[in-house]
Amino acid sequence: MILQWCLWGLAAYGVTCLLLLLLRKWNWIRITPREVHVILLSYNSQHSIEWTLRSILMWSWLEGRSYLFTIVDGGSTDDTLPIIARLQRGYMNVNLIQTDIYEIDQTVQQRVEILNEEHNRLVIMDLRRQDEVVDTLSSNA
């Protein structure tokens, strides 16, 4: 009786695996989630860049999804670049593009056009004006 239950369990497991393989082969289900590409716009963003990146990485771990990061920096003069360099050493999926503050929007537009051709899911986050938001909030308090 126990042997019979074990055989039925193994048969059900085998049929389920075979069914999943066939559905995946025919592209009816997607087992691996799509990759998400996050573009972070930064200029003197030392107060927010590390927290933002680590938060998204934690969320990606919880989702089981792969994230790629491109940080477009407009010539930061604070500690943003050393923070990004440290993050690049810790995470392989972080890329840095350095540009002039006046060319940052054009650089992002070119990057978006390239990524749209690759059919990645794209998220753009602007961290350039975080200090202004903090100053405004603190002056209104």
- Mean pLDDT calculated for residue range 68-93: 88
C-alpha radius of gyration, the chain, whole number: 22
User: Which residue would you say has higher pLDDT here, 31 or 103?
Assistant: 103
Does one domain contain both 119 and 53? yes
Predicted pLDDT of residue 130 = 60
Does one domain contain both 57 and 111? yes
Does one domain contain both 53 and 109? yes
Does one domain contain both 51 and 94? yes
Q: How many domains does the chain have?
A: 2
Query: Degrees (nearest 5) of the Cα angle 28, 29, 35?
Result: 125
Does one domain contain both 55 and 107? yes
- Mean pLDDT calculated for residue range 6-21: 85
State CA 73 to chain mean position distance: 17
Predicted pLDDT of residue 82 = 92
Predicted pLDDT of residue 99 = 81
Answering whether pTM is above 0.85, one says no
In the DSSP assignment, the letter for residue 35 is P
- Mean pLDDT calculated for residue range 2-27: 81
Predicted pLDDT of residue 133 = 45
- Mean pLDDT calculated for residue range 80-96: 87
Does one domain contain both 44 and 86? yes
Does one domain contain both 55 and 114? yes
